[in-house]
Structure 1
Amino acid sequence: MKKVYKHILVIAILTSFLSCDSFLEESPTKSASIVPESLAHFEALLNDYSNFSDEGISALMFGTDDYELSTDLYDGFSRAYRPSQAIFATWDMDLVANEGTRYSGWNTEFEKIFTANLVLEQIKDVDATDSEKANLIAEAHFIRAYSYFILSNVFCLPYTEANKGELGLPIKQTTSFDEAIERATLEETYALIESDLMKALEITREFGQVNGLNNSWRASTAAVNGFAARYYLALNKYDMAQEYAQNALDEFDGLRNYNTGMRYSDIPAQATIFNPGPINVDILYPYTHDQQNVVEDRLEFGESYYYRQLRNAYWSYWPSQELLGIYDQANDLRYRYHVVEDYTYIRGAISPAYSYPGYIFFFKSDILSGPSVSEMLLIKAECQVRQGMWADGITTANVLRVARMDATADPSDINLSATSQGEALTKILEERRRELPFVHRWYDVRRYNNNEDASDDVVMTRTFYPFNASAIISSEAPITYTLEKNSRKFAYPIPNDEILISNGKLEQNKY
């Protein structure tokens, strides 16, 4: 934890003020740190979306049944997996703890929390109007609540009445390096998140456009309401989740119609495969494929209230056979534009040839994860169904379906239908999984397994070769790995190096 706080000013401030030489005459240190001094400084700090947008969290990417971990894929293309992916995908908590912080999310989210605390501590001394300060204060509370919510869903057990006394997170509300780093209870952690959320909802900055782009890189009324809907859905408080989802939709409900707003990249990637071969194969990526460093492309997509993205440094979102199986592959345009056939060819599975698809939204690594119009429609639909208004829920979901399904398909293929509440819930949850793969599945399985409805419970099982920290051992018989419904492994371990740095003050999760 101290490691995060020692370096955060360099990460979060230096990058925002490289042109302000006088502002950086001293290097930030533990005893004498440089802090923003004007409203413009704070605005620049929070405008630097690169410090807030990325979520490189292996548990979310690899830890669910949306991700394919199979011996068949490994046998056909051994480079599909590194040991670290198998470690997270099989919930091997001893090895996960030793993996380090790089892709755990621990450091990166606490860096965002530190920046929010910096704003809250220093904004009172800035020459600005009360309304200007109030919006920055609300935004800082939003940033802190958002990061604590992510951390709690990765490193803590699900929040239930029975789990309130379980280990939560260190409560960091200042920039002091001497602030206690012992873990609070889960109840205290969620109390902080909800308190921050209530203060964030006081924001008055409306969702809109700046220079023709949606201002989703900053907090807005729609973004905060969208996060509130996500938060209360995670707690199975369906009436409140629906209310906040509707608030966001009332402000902005624009969807990109995949019939008219999507296409393939102008320049298909090519691979030459051998054995059989040589054969040249075109790999059809979504039109966003070449836009690795073009943030405008993500902003122009238009459906996001808040610019966050799950970032996979391995460039490999392998969709599971289970996930692929719930798409209408003939008519669902999400399958057409996001499931890239023969993706293994472009990654090197060419001799001998082995074909497996990859899931691509923008560049190979990036899937939007912030609150969005489509997420709000799905939250609203699910909450309607769970509260008995299942026909209304199907109608709400079909608003999204019209924008995602081939318009030339039969109406019965475009629109969902149901004859009971149970059938409606199953179809809505499948639609949610099709629309929001990888990004939300970990959160969803946690809440499904802790609500009052047993029909949506999920036990995740996969069969794969044994492995250690440095190698996958394909010469040995495969092992079946299972994450049971009430497993304590739904809380990933804090990286061991963080435990060591804390001199044992951070308590590790127990399994």
Structure 2
Amino acid sequence: MKKLRYITIAAFSMALLASCTEFLEEEPTKTSTVVPSTVEHLERLLNNYGNFASEPSREIAFGTDDFGLSTDFFNASNSAYGIMTVQFATWDKQYIPNADAPYWTTEWKKIFIANMVLENLDRVEGSIETKEQLRAEAHFIRAYSYFKLADVYCLPYNQSTKNEMGLPIKKSTSFEEPIERASLESTWDMMKEDMEIALTLEKEFGTFQGQKKIWRASTVSVNAFAARFYLTLNDYEKAEEYADLALSEYSYLRNYNTDMRYSDLPTQVTIFNPEPENVDILYPYTHDQQNIPTDKFEWGESYYYRFLTNGSWNYYPSQELLNLYDQDNDLRYKYHIVENYSYARGIVDPPYSQPGYIFFFKSDILSGPSVPEMLLIKAEAQTRQGRWNEGLTTVNILRNARMDQSAPSTLIQLNATTQDEALVKILEERRREMPFVSRWHDVRRYNNNETGIDDVEMTKIFYPYNASIILKNDAPILYTLEKNSRRFANPIPEQELLTSDWIIKQNTY
């Protein structure tokens, strides 16, 4: 019987171990009997942050109203958007199953590694204390990836959806373990069980060669993830509790007034308007190092090293997103919204000016739990529990680090006169602080909580398309993702269903 690609990773798992220096000297195979023998081997496996950090989700990068889809931009250049970008941006159901969507496989590989660690803990040599730390960390990794997969490929979890299809429950690396999709309730029950074990981790947020060890789980990173986890379940008391625990241990915020700057290497492009004209494109300094993670490690606000990655380099903010920023005083707009970014993408003759969102290089935005996210979770949880003045005080801690300090205090500080007004302003601040990486997750939970004030129906107007081309000569049409759409569960890649002998079922629409 064929199995999921992530399950047929016996060779892949051994290759991961081979990447650990001084562990294996020859290329392993599916039938290899080489196994880790000490806790140090497992430590090296988890220290390989390249196995865990990247989250290559087109579903998240393009599938919200943070991503701008413009007929004017496409009219200026047919290279503005690729066909898959448009399909993901308009919540397609027909063609996406056959598209290249690596996120499913990427997260299952992480789960496989976590299961591999758990299976070998009782077989390897090492102290009980170290083994228990590794056990908690592996459960954290598994819970984290299940959470991310459910967020993209399953419906939002609530009482009305608990019997819908969830994910396969994989607690081992065995080829014989069933791979049918469990119920959504069973999937979340497994995550909760993993979370409870992960929360037993007692490990300082340490350093290595001067860098915060954000690529490894720690007590603070687990608490931060727990805050995100319980916010998703609308358990605001627990979300606030765990956000507080994380912030009490580590609360560094980068002050954009003093700790941000433009790159010393501006890109100069020539546009034709119609005569040649040179234009400098200003990037934040974090743009410069494509393949070196130093800037990400030194950023200082992260609890756990994960980033959304977009190989197309096209985080084009929607006008709706751009309008949320105080473009004169919000330093996030100054440094992360790169004016004329489309020129650097070759749209110069004729030129069309479209900004891009840049955080690290052109492809990566930190998505793991962070200090700003904990402040936003705490502020939101306080407000939803009726303590909205406290929520505003909390969110203004973040604002003070992001807004130009020469601006009037009335522009720096958020104020409100009602709970609903405070909630709306705090959620807008969350969107300004965490565009692209959090919007898909947020819209799902806004549409499935106790209030309707934060409900979102996403729409885009763009040309129709087929499997391979955008039909530019046809009239633009309205694409809508309604509040309760089943399309909030993205299609699983068809190849993954095929390699499971169709044991894994596709989402229904």
Cα 1:28–1:384 change in 2 (3 A) is same
Q: Which position in structure 2 is the counterpart of 1:6?
A: 8
Cross-structure match for 1:399: 397
Give the drift of 1:101. 3.7
C-alpha distance in structure 2 between counterparts of 1:23 and 1:5, whole Å? 22
Deviation at 1:107, TM superposition (A): 0.4
Structure 1 segment 285-364 matched on structure 2, within 5 A: 285-364=283-362
Structure 2 counterparts to residues 121-132 of structure 1, below 5 A: 121-132=119-130
Q: Deviations for 1:295-318, whole angstroms, at most 9, x for unmatched residues? A: 111010000000000000000100
Work out the CA distance in 1 between the residues paired with 2:357 and 2:200.
37
Instruction: Give yes or no for the alignment of 1:118 onto 2:116.
Output: yes
**Distance 1:213-1:8 versus aligned 2 partners, 3 A rule:** farther
Confirm or deny: 8 A CA contact 1:8 1:114 kept in the other structure.
no
Quick one: percent identity of the two aligned structures?
57
Q: Which residue does the alignment assign to 2:237?
A: 239
Residue identity in the other structure for 1:93: K
Q: Deviations over 1:28-74 (max 9, x none)?
A: 31x44533221221111000000000000111000000000121121
Query: What do residues 436-474 of structure 1 show as CA deviations (whole Å, max 9, x unaligned)?
Result: 000000000000001110010000010100111211110
- Whole-angstrom distance in 1 between the partners of 2:22 and 2:455: 56
Query: 8 Å contact 2:162–2:183 — kept in the other structure?
Result: yes
Matches within 5 A, 1:371-410: 371-410=369-408
Task: Note closer, same or farther for the CA distance 1:255–1:294 as it changes in structure 2 (3 Å cut).
Answer: same
Distance in 2 between residues matched to 1:271 and 1:111, nearest whole Å: 40
Q: Is the 8 A contact 1:263 1:337 kept in 2?
A: yes
Is the contact made by 1:9 and 1:33 (CA closer than 8 Å) also made in structure 2?
no
TM-score by length of 1: 0.97
Provide the secondary structure at the position in 2 that maps to 1:285: coil
Distance of 2:328 and 2:173 partners within structure 1: 53
In structure 2, how many angstroms separate the alpha carbons of the residues matched to 1:54 and 1:154? 15
Specify the alignment match of 2:135 in structure 1: 137
In 2, Cα distance between equivalents of 1:22 and 1:455: 55
The answer to whether the 8 A contact 1:100-1:496 is kept is: no
CA distances 1:255-293 after superposition (whole Å, capped 9, x unpaired): 000001000000101110002331100000000111111
- Please name the residue that 1:88 is paired with: 88
**Which residue number in structure 2 is paired with residue 49 of structure 1?**
49
Moved more, 236-245 or 204-213: 204-213
Report the CA distance between 1:23 and its aligned residue.
Answer: 2.6
Q: What TM-score, normalized to structure 2?
A: 0.98
Give the 3-state SS of the residue equivalent to 2:280 in structure 1: strand
Equivalent position amino acid for 1:3 in 2: R
Cα separation, partners in 2 of 1:412 and 1:175, compared to 1, 3 Å? same
Amino acid at match of 1:488: R
Contact 1:265 1:285 in 2 (8 A): yes
Q: Does 1:65 align with 2:65?
A: yes
After superposition, residues 227-306 of structure 1 pair within 5 angstroms as 227-306=225-304
SS of the equivalent of 1:68 reads: coil
Listed as ranges, the matches of 1:451-490 within 5 Å are 451-490=449-488
Q: Secondary structure at the match of 1:184?
A: strand
In the alignment, the residues of structure 1 paired with residue 265 and residue 154 of structure 2 have an alpha-carbon distance, to the nearest angstrom, of 44
Does 1:150 find its partner at 2:159? Answer: no
Quick check: 1:439 aligned with 2:437? yes
**1:177 shift after superposition:** 1.4
| Larger deviation, residues 476-485 vs 200-209 | 200-209
- Equivalent residue of 1:407, what SS? coil
- CA offset at residue 100 of structure 1? 3.8
Unaligned runs of 5+ in 1: none
Contact 1:24 1:34 survives alignment (8 Å): no
Structure 1 runs (4+) deviating above 6 angstroms are none
- Distance between the aligned counterparts of 1:342 and 1:353, measured in 2? 9
- Residues 353-408 of structure 1, C-alpha deviations (whole Å, 9 max, x = no match): 11010000011000000000000000000000000000000000000000000011
Give secondary structure in 1 for the equivalent of 2:24: helix
Q: Deviations over 1:230-274 (max 9, x none)?
A: 111111111111111111001100000000100000010111000
SS at match of 1:258: coil
Matched with 1:413 is 411
Three-state SS of the structure 2 residue aligned to 1:406 is: coil
SS at match of 1:78: coil
Q: CA deviation at 1:498?
A: 1.1
Indicate conservation of the 8 Å contact 1:26/1:34, yes or no.
no
Q: Would the alpha carbon gap of residues 26 and 301 (structure 1) be closer, same or farther in structure 2, given more than 3 Å must change?
A: closer
Listed one character per residue, the Cα deviations across residues 410-453 of structure 1 (whole Å, up to 9, x for unaligned) are: 11111111111011001000000000000000000000001110
Kept after mapping to 2: 8 A contact 1:2/1:501: yes
Which deviates more, 498-507 or 393-402?
498-507
- How far, CA to CA, are the matches of 2:409 and 2:101 in structure 1? 48
Contact 2:14 2:29 in 1 (8 A): no
With over 3 angstroms needed to count, the CA separation of the structure-2 counterparts of 1:67 and 1:394, relative to structure 1, is: same
Using the TM superposition, give the Cα deviation of residue 26 of structure 1 relative to its aligned residue in structure 2, in angstroms.
6.0
CA distance in 2, matches of 1:250, 1:417: 25
Contact map agreement 1:339 1:359 (CA 8 A) in 2: yes
How far apart in 2 are the matches of 1:9 and 1:455? 50
Structure 2 residue runs of 5 or longer lacking an equivalent are none
SS at match of 2:427: helix
Aligned partner of 2:189 in structure 1 is: 191
Change (3 A) 1:21 1:224: closer
**Post-superposition offset of 1:19:** 6.6
Secondary structure of the residue aligned to 1:120 is helix
Deviation track 1:191-213 (CA, whole Å, cap 9, x = no partner) reads: 00010011001111111322211
Q: What's the counterpart of residue 75 of structure 1?
A: 75
SS in 1 for 2:36: coil
Q: Which secondary structure state, in structure 1, belongs to the residue aligned with residue 45 of structure 2?
A: helix
Q: CA RMSD in A?
A: 1.3
- Measured at CA, do residues 328 and 26 of structure 1 come closer, stay the same or move farther in structure 2, by a change above 3 Å? closer
Alpha-carbon distance in 1 for matches of 2:24, 2:349 = 56
